[in-house]
Chains A and B, each alone.
Chain A
């Protein structure tokens, strides 16, 4: 795949090396130190850092401002953008804002429904969906035009990604849906947290059979479990999450004080197994409010040191 942007993430992926990304959730307040502190803990162990956009619909400091902070630290942010809260004017405007700070990566999402968050009585926007956001960014970048057709002076040069959940229902459209996202312009994919490795491998096999892994970089998503309670919560309460009973049992059989350690171990083992899966181009490690554990996971999984492509 040819390199189209100045994204460091894209360069690493294009070089054929396994990329590692992680994420930072912005604070529920305006403390300027939170994002730098989280980023500081992981910056030497990842190639790029996703910044979530009001995840689970809880109002937080905005993703773009947090990405700018990372950029000012000399780091490589991935701007997550959901279509729930902004119409096409605001989306294009924020894309230009990001581009003006030379933010190089964007992840296009629909976002959790607002009923999960602290503004359950609010409106959602959904002027466009995540696929159409992919099309929008590619249109702005490749055609150098706004959706309205006018030329953009200095178009954004963003490496464009999408999320994909191999475990959501109905399963039979998961690979066609991946194909659809690629057709809409996705250049990289970060998947939902993988606990059911067999099912993920089956999804990858189908993707390979359709030649999709030649057209898109797939970063396998992983979230270490802190406890059996978290595993049960993820299994039962988080929509579209597939946590096999064996994983819950393994944590349940571990003494409480050792469960966090076991959770890290499961995560590392998963990475080691998935490294062997053809088409996996890297890993997206989402250690939710547990960012300090990312270096340990990356090191144990044999993904350290990170390549230098500057």
Chain B
């Protein structure tokens, strides 16, 4: 929730493979939390799909890269987090002459 609140467009949580966790059920608990939070994000109009849980082992680099690409593509599809837009609006617009200079 925090990164999304700060304006991140997407967050993914990576846990151990199911059944293969040093903390036994830690990854299952995380999965349940992610599910719960996705519902809240949907209700808030931010979109639950901005949050995802992936499972992989620490030595599985290719999968990690694949998940990263998957999430990247998904974020492009979803567009910016409305919170980021809202945060930007909150900041004062730059002075007019500066805007002109940029243009």
Direct interface between A and B, CB < 8 A: no
A residues at B contact (CB < 8 Å)? none
